Structure 1
Amino acid sequence: MNVKARAELEGITPYALGQSIEEIKELYGITTVRKLSDNENVYGTSPKVKEAIMQASANLAFYPDGMTSGIVEKLSVHYQLDPKHFMVSNGSEEIIRLLTRAYIDKSDEAVMAEVTFPRYKTNVVIEGGRAVTVPMIDGRHDLKKMQEAIINNTKMVFVCNPNNPTGTIVAKQELFEFIDNVPSNVLIIMDEAYFEYADSEEYLDTMPLLKQYKNLVILRTFSKIYGLASLRVGYGVMHEDIAKELHKVRDVFNVNQLAQAAAMAAIEDQAFVQDCSAKNSAERDFLKEKFKELEIDSFPSQSNFLFAFTNRPVIKTLTENGVLVRQMQLPGYKEAFRITLGSREDHEFILHIVSQLFHERAV
């Protein structure tokens, strides 16, 4: 092949995707697979969403609303913020891509945690920038070191809170002081895809800070607790000047019509959101404690998943029994994995097969 791709792509690998459910069934000869690898909402989506999609399907021959005005209006009412602050996207990852496209030049830097959502780094590098990664402390962002990493060439800093894949949050006062100390010419990108799952008093609500900090960008999504992962709807909340720049580089009709209808219906059903959050908190506490009894530790999570680690073999047995988790790397541990929180029945099944495995190896 004589046509060469851009040099920036040489060190980039595609986002890792696991085996499909059908592949797992065929490989291990099983009929049931519990997909707990991608942080999806195991409780599905609001019944109101399905009704909205059916109604919207009558208009498939027409282009969607290119400005996603219906979702923007719903978000504006929900957060009591002017519509000019919102931008709706094809998943919140699109906002990340648009931010780097609009603001990262060659030689620019972006600061982020060493273990966090990998698409920050990928998108920065694609635009010719340099991703500066800062080691974490017990699965948490080291905001002090991240602050120290900001130099004249720094254009943006990413904070994932709760963090993917560790599930941890940074303390409220610590995060506020960090935001206050970041120079105004550096974008602060708060990725809060899992914020609806956070129930700690130490979790900082960043929305009230938008008026004071014009360099603050907040990312949220309908993919997680709203259960719309397959439809790809996210949104960013930011100063109107930043939104204007992003609109210059986004694709036309970036959110399809069915996805828009679904998102508008989803945000109306906050009872569903609260129910999912409550169930998630209960199952998070349950599984974390039961894992600990089996010598499987985990970081303190405020999300809908646990980052678990142990020196005992787990992942292969889980997969063979139809439980899909995301394998991770953690120095000093043979087995590290991220597991999406499931139902109580899911967790009891997992605990049974893991207990059985450990008992067999002990005999």
Structure 2
Amino acid sequence: MMAVKVKSREILQMVTAYPLGKSVYDLQKEMGLPSIINLSEIENVFGCSAQVKNHLTHQLDHLFTYPDGSARLLTTKLAEFLNVKSDQLFIGNGSDEIIRLLLRAFLNAGDEAVMAEITFPRYKTNVTIEGGRPVLVPLIDGTHDLDRMLASITEKTKLIFVCNPNNPTGTIVEKKKLEHFIAKVPEHILIVLDEAYYEYATSEEYLQSVTYLKKYSNLVILRTFSKVYGLAGLRIGYGMMDPYIASELNKVKEVFNVNQLAQAAAIVALEDQKFRLECVERNEEGKHLLESELTKMGYPFFHTQANFMMIHTGQPGDIVCRELLKHGLLVKSGAALGYPNAIRVTISSMQDNHYFIKCLKNIEKRNGGVS
């Protein structure tokens, strides 16, 4: 094979591809396991609404047509549901795409974007690709240090990202602290509140941010249908923002960025709020079980407001992950997430949660307990 003479952009030398790892199928084959329970990807293990599945069968006759590039029907339904105006909404191919488009539209080469040191990694990656400089602020006990983020603002700052609840820790910032933070950020700097796990947050300390859109034109709120609505495979998310910001995003997006099935599924998912509430309730039950059992076992963890938990294992997360995989459980090692002696686990069905605890106890017994 001939050597490739074409060179990519210099900035890509600073970027690595997102580590996807081996597929569940490959791991099953490699480990000789009949099945694997996947608790590594923060998906809604309860699936999606049955109404969505039924509705999508009626969409199959229309696959030869292009989707609505403006997602008008979904935008109208969302505006009614959220009590915002249609021109305040932007529909994306997952909220990931909206992050990318915000940076494409508003970040110039050399501009800075402030974010937590340990948070959703695509902020940093996309800022770097656009020629910007990520400014990383360490967490305090797994939570955003908003005071230090404010102190990190310079004349070059263009955006600030706050992931709330935060991935991978599941923590939230207190309501009054976030209110104060939003008020203090200069109005020419975009505040991006990534609320991908919004529906799972049940704490009274969680800020209901939508009402702040009226007061702060630099506020962008991102949410998704990938998590509680169980549509991760269709890739659809949305942002709420000032109409000017949405109009600029429309200039840099692909014409048909959200496929037809995703738009149809999101509309029906939004209508089936009973399913959403059931998922949140089952997640709360699973969370309380895990917190109770882990506390008895002496495992520290971050108190989560999402559908996953970061558990401090007292030994390398890679080792714990390998041991759990032998039992047919796939979880995420904290080594790739900024916490090498931890694992991140999706909260699952009660049966799977009990099985996870049982396997963790077996590993603890063999390894002599938590250090």
Q: So what's the TM-score if we normalise by structure 1?
A: 0.97
Output aligned runs, 1:92-107, within 5 Å. Answer: 92-107=95-110
**Is residue 2:245 matched to residue 1:252?**
no
Amino acid at match of 2:233: S
Distance 1:351 1:233 in 2: 33
2:346 to 334, 340, 343: 340
Aligned equivalent of 1:327, options 321, 324, 333: 333
Q: Contact 2:283 / 2:307 at 8 angstroms: preserved in 1?
A: yes
Q: Which residue does 2:24 correspond to in 1?
A: 21
- 2:135 maps to what in 1? 132
Rounded Cα–Cα distance in structure 2 between residues aligned with 1:332 and 1:105: 28
**Aligned twin of 1:108:** 111
Q: How far 1:96 moved relative to its partner?
A: 0.3
Letter in 2 for 1:257: Q
Q: Is the 8 A contact 1:311 1:333 kept in 2?
A: no
Q: CA deviation at 1:18?
A: 2.6
Q: 1:216 is matched with which residue?
A: 219
SS of structure 2 residue aligned to 1:106: coil
Amino acid at match of 1:68: A
The 1:332–1:101 alpha-carbon spacing in structure 2 relative to 1, beyond 3 Å, is: closer
Q: CA deviation at 1:14?
A: 0.8
- Residue 302 of structure 1 pairs with residue 314 of structure 2: no
1:268 equivalent in alignment to 2:271: yes
8 A Cα contact 1:310 1:333, kept in partner: no
- Offset, 1:209: 0.3
CA change 1:320–1:256 in 2 (3 A) is same
CA distance in 2 between partners of 1:118 and 1:346 (Å): 28
- SS of 1:32's partner is coil
Return 5+ residue gaps in structure 1 as ranges: none
CA-based RMSD of the aligned residues comes to 1.5
CA apart distance, 1:311: 1.4
Q: Which residue of 2 aligns with 1:31?
A: 34
Is 1:167 the counterpart of 2:173? The answer is no
Deviation at 1:333, TM superposition (A): 7.1
- What CA distance in whole angstroms lies between the structure 1 residues aligned with 2:202 and 2:234? 26
1:274 to partner: Cα distance: 0.7
How many residues are aligned here?
363
Other-structure match for 2:283: 280
Question: What amino acid sits opposite 2:133 in the alignment?
Answer: R
Report the more deviating stretch, 287-296 or 249-258.
Answer: 287-296
Separation in structure 2 between the aligned mates of residue 228 and residue 58 of structure 1, nearest angstrom: 21
Quick one: distance in 1 between partners of 2:356 and 2:139? 29
Post-superposition shift, 1:228? 0.2
In structure 2, C-alpha distance between the alignment counterparts of 1:50 and 1:333, rounded to whole Å: 38
2:355 to 335, 349, 362: 349
Alignment equivalent of 1:177, drawn from 177, 180, 183: 180
Map of 1:55-204 to 2, 5 A cutoff? 55-204=58-207
Structure 2 counterpart of 1:5, from 3, 8, 15 = 8
Q: Is the 8 A contact 2:313 2:343 kept in 1?
A: no
Q: Compute the displacement of 1:332 (Å).
A: 11
Q: 1:47 aligns with which of 45, 50, 69?
A: 50
C-alpha separation between the residues in 1 aligned to 2:337 and 2:358?
27
Distance in 1, Cα, partners of 2:326 & 2:37 = 11
CA distance in 2, matches of 1:270, 1:43: 14
One-letter amino acid of the counterpart of residue 58, structure 2: Q
Letter in 2 for 1:247: N
Aligned to 1:360: 366
The CA deviation string for residues 31-60 of structure 1, in whole angstroms up to 9 with x for no partner, is: 111111111001110011011211111101
Could you tell me which amino acid in structure 1 is paired with residue 231 of structure 2?
L
CA separation of 1:242/1:332 partners in 2, compared to 1, >3 Å: closer, same or farther?
closer
Structure 2 gaps of 5+ residues are none
Give the C-alpha shift of residue 331 in structure 1: 11
Distance in structure 2 (CA, Å) of the matches to 1:332 and 1:232: 26
Amino-acid identity (%): 47
Q: Is 1:114–1:133's contact at 8 Å kept on the other side of the alignment? A: yes
| Equivalent-residue separation in structure 2 for 1:344 and 1:18 (angstroms) | 27
Task: Tell me, yes or no, if the aligned pair for 2:333 and 2:340 is still in contact at 8 Å.
Answer: no
Secondary structure at 1:210 match in 2: helix
Rounded to whole Å, the distance in 2 between the matches of 1:297 and 1:327 is 16
Instruction: Encode CA deviations 1:124-176: one digit per residue, 9 max, x unaligned.
Output: 11110000000110000000000000111100000000000000000000000
The answer to whether the 8 Å contact 1:304/1:341 transfers is yes
Whole-Å separation in 1 of the counterparts to 2:275 and 2:89: 23
Letter in 1 for 2:354: E
8 A Cα contact 1:156 1:188, kept in partner: yes
Please give the alpha-carbon distance, in whole angstroms, between the structure 1 residues aligned to 2:41 and 2:85: 33
TM score, norm. by length of structure 2: 0.95
1:9, 1:357 → 2: CA distance?
A: 41
